[in-house]
Amino acid sequence: MKVKTFIKNNTTSFARVSFIVLAVCTLIKVVAVFFEPFADFFNRHVASVTRAMLSYLTAFIPFSLAETLVISAIPFAIIYIICFTKRMSESDDYAKQVFNLLGLIACLLSLFLINFSIAYDVTPLEKKLDLDSTAITADNLYDASEYVMTQLEWLDVEIVRDENGAAVMPYSFSELTRKINIAYDNLYGEYRFLSPLYAGAKQIALSIPMTYTHIAGVYTFFTGEANINTNYPPYVVAFTTAHEMAHQRGIAPEDEANFVAFLACTTSDDPFLRYCGYAQILEYIGNSLYATDSSRFEDLLYFYPEGVLAEYVAYSNMFKEYSHSKAADVSSAVNDVYLKSQGQTDGTNSYDLVTELATAYILKNIEQ
């Protein structure tokens, strides 16, 4: 009885409802962790609705709402503390104020659980696509690289480069997102696990300082926005945009988002997007080949298309200013903890695991 009286006298309706919603969302998450078919259904047919609603609600804002909220977080926190302290001195409803704050946190946690967290518990993409990446060898990596380089050689004649050798994006950022949306539209029929959506991406205003964190893009579950660091080379910007838009469509694991971005780019009708998809995946596969068998990589490097080598050199030169950064160490550590908390045991290394998916996919297509 005392507990009920305390709850009634010291909490608001908002706080009580928020805690109940969080409890329900937590239960749904637990079921999803232990039952993949439920996670698949929920992510595809329920969470996709909340993701789409948020994307559509923020689509009309011409700037990144998430970036604005993050930048405003410190001054808002200061204002909140001042107001909270003043309210406390003028009344005795301390508990209500604390529970209201906890209720707001509960709302955000509930939104994360429903909107995105369950997407980590679905059936692995490797199984959905009937791929076998368990025994990828140096020979496999070499063969996949040769196939990708052949595609890049054909595409290179359609790529315009700047004085440093970097590919130039032939259209605006808004046109880029439109073309990627079209590319995703073409995937929905074959890949039913993708949640159909038509939504743009947002350019990060503070892209230059953000580059010191080595973050090329981020999907924000609480606004539904794909936020892109446009300070990177165009081929990275295009691939990252496709990657973050994969998150919008219910692909949570980083290696799978990379792979779906690769699919979207390379199946597009646009030659620049296809170039970006192959140029980025060659980077991943080449790095894996070098780590597996450096001598095979050196043999392969001799045959790299000249334009692609110029692309990588231009990127390396551009990134020197940002390569050694304490901000990158911090952001990487935070991201590593977050990914592991969602069951991604490889943490930030999971981005590189796209090599296995892409290689298995490429070799399967070559055989067919």
How is the chain split into domains, by residue range? 2-120, 125-367
**pLDDT, tens digit (0-9, with 9 covering 90-100), for 320-354:** 999 888 888 888 888 778 778 887 777 667 666 88
Structure tokens at 92: 């005795």
Closest CA to 107 of 16, 178, 212: 16
**pLDDT, tens digit (0-9, with 9 covering 90-100), for 118-127:** 999 999 999 9
Q: What is the mean pLDDT of the chain?
A: 89
Q: How big is the CA angle at 280 (ends 189 and 298), to the nearest 5 degrees?
A: 135
**pLDDT, tens digit (0-9, with 9 covering 90-100), for 36-79:** 999 999 999 999 999 999 999 999 999 999 999 988 877 877 77
Higher pLDDT, 90 or 151: 151
In sequence order, what are the residues at sequence separation of 6 or more whose Cβ sits closer than 8 angstroms to the Cβ of residue 139?
none
| pLDDT above 90 for 259 | yes
pLDDT at 339: 72
Report the C-alpha gap between 312 and 171 in whole angstroms.
21
- DSSP 8-state secondary structure symbol assigned to residue 351: G
User: Is there a contact between 222 and 114 (Cβ–Cβ < 8 Å)?
Assistant: no
Report the C-alpha gap between 206 and 15 in whole angstroms.
35
pTM over 0.85: yes
Which residue blocks in the chain are alpha helix, DSSP H?
A: 2-10, 13-34, 36-45, 47-59, 65-90, 94-115, 125-128, 138-156, 173-185, 207-211, 234-248, 254-266, 271-292, 294-301, 306-319, 326-341, 354-367
User: Is there a contact between 348 and 283 (Cβ–Cβ < 8 Å)?
Assistant: no
| pLDDT > 70: percent of the chain | 91
pLDDT at 324: 85
Higher pLDDT, 299 or 1: 299
DSSP annotation string for 210-248:
HHTTT--EEEETTTTEEEE-TTS-HHHHHHHHHHHHHHH
Identify the band that residue 255 occupies on the pLDDT scale cut at 50, 70 and 90. Answer: very high
